[in-house]
Amino acid sequence: GAVVSQHPSRVICKSGTSVKIECRSLDFQATTMFWYRQFPKQSLMLMATSNEGSKATYEQGVEKDKFLINHASLTLSTLTVTSAHPEDSSFYICSARAGSGNTEAFFGQGTRLTVV
Amino acid sequence: GENVEQHPSTLSVQEGDSAVIKCTYSDSASNYFPWYKQELGKGPQLIIDIRSNVGEKKDQRIAVTLNKTAKHFSLHITETQPEDSAVYFCAASRGSARQLTFGSGTQLTVLP
């Protein structure tokens, strides 16, 4: 299957700082990328959907000014957690889909964010 | 919106036995149903999917069945092995947006 690379896999940051997570589709062009958040032993919760060249669509309850998403190219989307707090500590996962219609989404390996 | 329920939350089986995980969905317009395997500290990996125009799909030891009338679908793993131990998620989506709604997950443990 297609490969989605997410970086970094783990990051520890101080409270109040910002952290950027990258999601790259390595062997296909991703017209749509999704960002999820997963707390321990829980399911994946969709945070936002981003289409290349346009603003991301955020799910209800997700602060767009706190979780900045940029999808500047067909192979790269970034999620920046601004002014991070300990409650932002979580597992963040991206997925990417090529084209439109009935195509599957491929997931990155996830980023474990710990805010201290 | 779509709501996906998954059962059981935990499942332990002996190596070689079969495992079945069931999901129900609420949106009758949903037409794509993937299953993902997630190992600890990793992202989900697609293991099999089914679209609403078929009732069953099989790939070696893994099979998925779909009952559109009842709005439920199931994952079947035969001849389980210890390396099958992981968390399994079902999901559903409709249309071209491909926004997946996930079930709550099943922790499968295969005992050697």
Residue B88 has pLDDT above 90, yes or no: yes
- pLDDT tens digits, one per residue of B49-60: 998 888 999 999
In terms of CA atoms, which chain B residue is nearest residue A90? B41
Q: pLDDT at residue B94 above 90? A: no
Mean pLDDT of B14-36: 95
Of B22, B20, B28, which is closest to residue B5 (Cα–Cα)? B22
pLDDT at B95: 66
Residue A13 phi, psi dihedral angles, 5° rounding: -135, 160
pLDDT tens, residue order, chain A (116 aa): 678 999 999 999 999 999 999 999 998 888 889 999 999 989 999 999 998 888 899 999 999 999 999 988 889 999 999 999 999 999 999 999 876 655 678 899 999 999 99
Interface of B with A (CB under 8 A): 31-32, 34, 36, 41-46, 49, 51, 89, 96-105
- So what's the pLDDT on residue A60? 92
CA distance A41 to chain B (A): 8
Query: Between these two residues, B95 and A81, which has the higher pLDDT value?
Result: A81
Q: 10 Å Cβ neighbour count for B23? A: 26
Q: Is the pLDDT of residue B65 over 60?
A: yes
- Find the closest chain B residue to A35 by CA distance: B99
Closest Cα in chain A to B104: A43
Q: How far apart are CA A19 and CA A105, in angstroms?
A: 25
Per-residue pLDDT for B66 more than 70? yes
Other residues' Cβ atoms within 10 Å of the Cβ of residue B50: 20
> In the prediction, which pLDDT does A1 show?
64
> pLDDT at position A62, please?
95
Q: What is the pLDDT of residues B71-81, one digit of tens each?
A: 999 999 999 99
Contact B70, B92 (CB under 8 A): no
The alpha carbon of residue B72 is apart from the nearest alpha carbon of chain A, in Å, by: 19
Tally A–B CB contacts below 8 A: 57
Structure confidence at residue B68 (pLDDT)? 93
Structure confidence at residue A102 (pLDDT) = 55
What integer pLDDT is reported at residue B36 of this predicted model?
Answer: 96
